[in-house]
Structure 1
Amino acid sequence: MTGQTPLAVRMRPVSLDEVAGQAHLLKPGSPIVALADPSASKPGTVSVILWGPPGTGKTTLAQAIARSSGRRFVELSAITAGVKDVREVMKEALDQRDLYGQSTILFLDEIHRFTKAQQDALLPGVENGWVILIAATTENPSFSVISPLLSRSLLLTLKPLTDDDLGELIDRAVGDARGLGGAVRLAPEARTGLIQLASGDARRALTALDAAAGVAASEAGDGAGEGSADQDAPIEVAEEHVERAVDRALLRYDRQGDEHYDVISAFIKSIRGSDPDAAVHYLARMIEAGEDARFIARRLVVHAAEDIGLADPRALQIASAAADAVAFIGMPEGRIPLAEATIYLATAPKSPATIQAIDQAISDVRAGRMGPVPLHLRDAHYAGAKRLGHGKGYRYPHDSPLGVVKQQYLPDALAGRRYYEPRPLGGEREIGERLDKIRRIVEGG
């Protein structure tokens, strides 16, 4: 049923026309299309770096370009290739160009695994046009690719495949002779389950389909006998076949539907409610469903400022560090800093005083409750400012041993207005005690 070669490999597009998704990169005249078009008046020659999650078509695009363009195609893996391998490819590419007039496409998978020295070895070939480099990476090239190589290449970002894209791939694999050739019939629930499990990853979708078809075929073979149904009839792949094939139940999670909002809501409310176990559970559900890790990280940063604030100032630092780590290392390793930040935020003291302060201040401004800036606080550094009274009477706080002086800072219309009211929790307990003393001095109380 599935053959020796994996279904994902057998179904790899042979031209750009078969590529599912990435429409933003495949518009007429785009760099990718120009590279693949041998009949173009000015065939593309620019090197590109393809950045995107696993299974979005980086290798597929590179091979489709090579097949369509008729160029010589060489593939290296950053896991196994060294500087010597790169230099040999460059020499061969130069020879091919000079002797036969044939250009070479060098596809380098996982370029982020190359050291600086290895990436430096690519520069002469890219700069002099000996090769057209198509490099693939799942990690942010700004951190993983050297600047000289970045500046000589075009950075193209691939997006996770949509559910429609995945559905198209699955349907094609079921019917295409390169795939399952119509030997199976996919139940609607199984098709939906495969799309959910794939989470934007074409390779994962086709691998799961291949395995599910194998499970269904095995069961059909076990049940075959005298009086059995037509042996040539397609075997039905049901939802339970998909579940058994991937060894886990289908996740009931739609990244564009209600479940998306329900789970992220439960995640944030569990952190706000100081329940790290529930928070980690919802984090796991989002990760397993293929939720964008950057989206999760952004919610953690917002929560740290909104619900914790100055009750624990480190919360925002840790959430921001987790967001940076996710951008730097990607997934699946990014799950670790996300979990660390989630647990820290869930166990941190909570206070909404910061968001309440800024929201109340904005409310006053929008309602027109402002008043002019007091004269003694106005800028006095330009010609004529003193004549207008700007800065007159301003008291410099550092002239006081306490670093605080009696002085009005709010406009007259808002004198005495309170926006920030720290709570007696965590770090805000100390802030509140200090602020009471400061306010008594500033206001002369």
Structure 2
Amino acid sequence: MTSRAESGQAESLFDDPAITGGARDDTAGDASRIPGPSGPSGGSAGTDGQPLAVRMRPRGLDEVVGQGHLLGPGTPIRQLVDRDVPMSLVLWGPPGTGKTTLATVVSHVTSRRFVEVSAVSDGVKRVRAEIDLARRELGMTGRQTVLFVDEVHRFNKAQQDALLPAVENRWVSFIGATTENPFFSVISPLLSRSLLLTLEPLGDDALREVVGRAIAEERGLGGAVRLDPAAEDHLVRLAGGDARRALTYLEAAALVVDDPGPDGDVPVIDPDVLERAVDRAAVRYDREGDQHYDVISAFIKSIRGSDVDAALHYLARMIEAGEDPRFIARRLIVHASEDVGMADPTALPTAVAAAQAVEFVGLPEARINLAQAVIHLSLAPKSNAVITAVDGALSDVRKGLAGPVPAHLREAHYKGAAKLGHGKGYKYAHDHPGGVVRQKYAPDAVHGREYYRPTRHGAESRFTEVLARIRSVLRGNGERR
């Protein structure tokens, strides 16, 4: 039997027969249907077989989309590129935000030798060999080396230690890329010798620019397809701030888009085509429109109403639509105090932990942490006593019910305070049984007002009796004096 390689056919849709040793067979599968200006792959000469995201990688800093806070005049990246200033950088950010792109741009536009090492597949032996070569190059020709370590967090402590001499002595300009929090995943000596730059997920406008370039430029799809506005919205939502994902989905859609009709019109990628290409239904959701507010409102009200299943539905809907997970986490933190409060004091730490997980882990894994918080808050006993208490206090202050601080509570540790009567008669609570003693704390204007009224729900029920006893002592109705 003749193999595909022997017959000159590519092993897969994206294999280049020039690499496998055979001539292109234009009938060898659906790859011939991917539109493009220079052959079936849609790429220009020398790019056949490369993914669209690779072909569209910026060739200079001016082509980089997003990360404006890192690319302005005088920024470290500009210094590294424009002036060949030796320095070491750690680039931290979610996938598809441009970490590898920035390192690649450095290789294109500087006179330095560029070496890329992957922490996934390379070890200390490769790193040390490249450092030795860089030292010889620097000593013999004066040419510097940029050592780019992708996924540097995957190196263990010993492997990261191997980088220290080269970074310390500037034998190389080290650039490390990581999706993990470097304060946890990169050893302190290496981090202290490097400048940490944080990359942010790309905004919607930036993603639209990336996609627009890929459709129009010759090295991309060369105008061979058009993108329907509704499909563009869906693509941006699916990308979730990840430019690589946006281009990967666009390329998949270009593969399955219908051929031009008899009138020769350019095929259009509409939502149906995009859904078919990426197997993800288009969730009708506008992050700045009615759906955004309606869904988050239904989400919070479902948690407040203890309907855990409805709450999980709305959580999934927001995640699938590309809602910012940090926004969801912030709403959970607010809800934990506003609608659960002291009825379950563990609700707030759970919500805060979920928010931290979003920052440390990111989607898709953080969906689990968010779901755990949603389930906890949905099933927790509910109380709005906390928000009622603080809003009541704020309302009185805004009405002007404040007044001077009682003299015995005022600061009494500076010279002359005693002459003013500050601190006179103050009773130190720890000197009295139970740590509570009869004493006036509030100003006259609000003395006796009760803002916090605990419910009988969950853990808050025990505070009802505790608070009653404390107030009784403070106001002289109890036994402690």
Flag whether TM exceeds 0.5 (same fold): yes
The 1-side partners of 2:154 and 2:293 are apart by: 36
**Retained in 2: the 8 A contact 1:198–1:204?**
yes
Deviations 1:285-304 (A, max 9, x none): 22223333222222222221
Residue-pair matches, total = 432
Kindly indicate whether residue 285 of structure 2 is the aligned counterpart of residue 253 of structure 1: yes
Kindly indicate whether residue 107 of structure 2 is the aligned counterpart of residue 66 of structure 1: yes
- Corresponding residue to 1:332 among 360, 364, 379: 364
**Retained in 2: the 8 A contact 1:139–1:327?**
no
Alignment of 1:153-192 (within 5 A): 153-192=194-233
Q: Secondary structure at the match of 1:220?
A: coil
Aligned to 1:220: 259
- Corresponding residue to 2:341 among 293, 309, 314: 309
The 2-side partners of 1:19 and 1:395 are apart by: 65
The alignment-based identity, stated in percent, is 62
- Corresponding residue to 1:108 among 149, 157, 165: 149
Aligned to 2:10: none
Aligned to 1:225: none
- Cα distance change on mapping 1:148 and 1:260 into 2, 3 Å: farther
- Corresponding residue to 2:96 among 39, 49, 55: 55
Deviations 1:77-115 (A, max 9, x none): 122222222222211111111122221111111222222
Kindly indicate whether residue 267 of structure 2 is the aligned counterpart of residue 229 of structure 1: no
Deviations 1:225-284 (A, max 9, x none): xxx716x65333222111100102112223333333332222222212212112222222
Aligned to 1:293: 325
Aligned to 1:205: 246
- Corresponding residue to 1:420 among 449, 452, 457: 452
**Retained in 2: the 8 A contact 1:143–1:328?**
no
Aligned to 1:224: none
Letter in 1 for 2:202: L
Deviations 1:167-196 (A, max 9, x none): 222222223222222322333333333222
Q: CA deviation at 1:324?
A: 2.2
Kindly indicate whether residue 391 of structure 2 is the aligned counterpart of residue 359 of structure 1: yes
Aligned to 1:272: 304
The 1-side partners of 2:234 and 2:377 are apart by: 33
Kindly indicate whether residue 183 of structure 2 is the aligned counterpart of residue 150 of structure 1: no
- Cα distance change on mapping 1:290 and 1:196 into 2, 3 Å: closer
Moved more, 205-214 or 390-399: 390-399
The 2-side partners of 1:265 and 1:120 are apart by: 50
**Retained in 2: the 8 A contact 1:139–1:330?**
no
The 1-side partners of 2:473 and 2:297 are apart by: 43
Deviations 1:301-332 (A, max 9, x none): 22212221111111111112222222222332
The 2-side partners of 1:274 and 1:336 are apart by: 19
Alignment of 1:17-36 (within 5 A): 17-36=62-81
Kindly indicate whether residue 347 of structure 2 is the aligned counterpart of residue 348 of structure 1: no
**Retained in 2: the 8 A contact 1:197–1:251?**
no
Q: Secondary structure at the match of 1:102?
A: coil
Q: CA deviation at 1:214?
A: 0.8
Kindly indicate whether residue 389 of structure 2 is the aligned counterpart of residue 389 of structure 1: no
Aligned to 1:12: 57
The 2-side partners of 1:200 and 1:414 are apart by: 50
Letter in 2 for 1:23: G
The 2-side partners of 1:183 and 1:243 are apart by: 20
The 2-side partners of 1:144 and 1:58 are apart by: 16
Letter in 2 for 1:220: D
The 2-side partners of 1:334 and 1:364 are apart by: 41
The 1-side partners of 2:209 and 2:338 are apart by: 42
The 1-side partners of 2:360 and 2:226 are apart by: 42
- Cα distance change on mapping 1:408 and 1:123 into 2, 3 Å: same
TM-score (norm 1): 0.91
Q: CA deviation at 1:22?
A: 1.9
Q: Gapped runs of 5+ residues in structure 1? A: 222-227
Letter in 2 for 1:320: V
Q: CA deviation at 1:383?
A: 4.0
- Corresponding residue to 2:177 among 136, 151, 154: 136
**Retained in 2: the 8 A contact 1:312–1:427?**
yes
TM-score (norm 2): 0.84
Q: Which runs of 4+ in 1 moved over 6 A?
A: none
Aligned to 1:98: 139
Moved more, 307-316 or 185-194: 185-194
- Corresponding residue to 2:272 among 220, 237, 240: 240
Letter in 1 for 2:154: R
Kindly indicate whether residue 118 of structure 2 is the aligned counterpart of residue 77 of structure 1: yes
**Retained in 2: the 8 A contact 1:183–1:233?**
no
**Retained in 2: the 8 A contact 1:7–1:210?**
yes
Moved more, 158-167 or 395-404: 395-404
Letter in 1 for 2:162: A
Q: RMSD between aligned alpha carbons?
A: 2.1
Q: Secondary structure at the match of 2:206?
A: helix
Q: Secondary structure at the match of 2:433?
A: coil
- Cα distance change on mapping 1:376 and 1:6 into 2, 3 Å: same
Q: Gapped runs of 5+ residues in structure 2? A: 1-33, 35-39, 42-48
Letter in 2 for 1:341: A
Letter in 2 for 1:22: Q
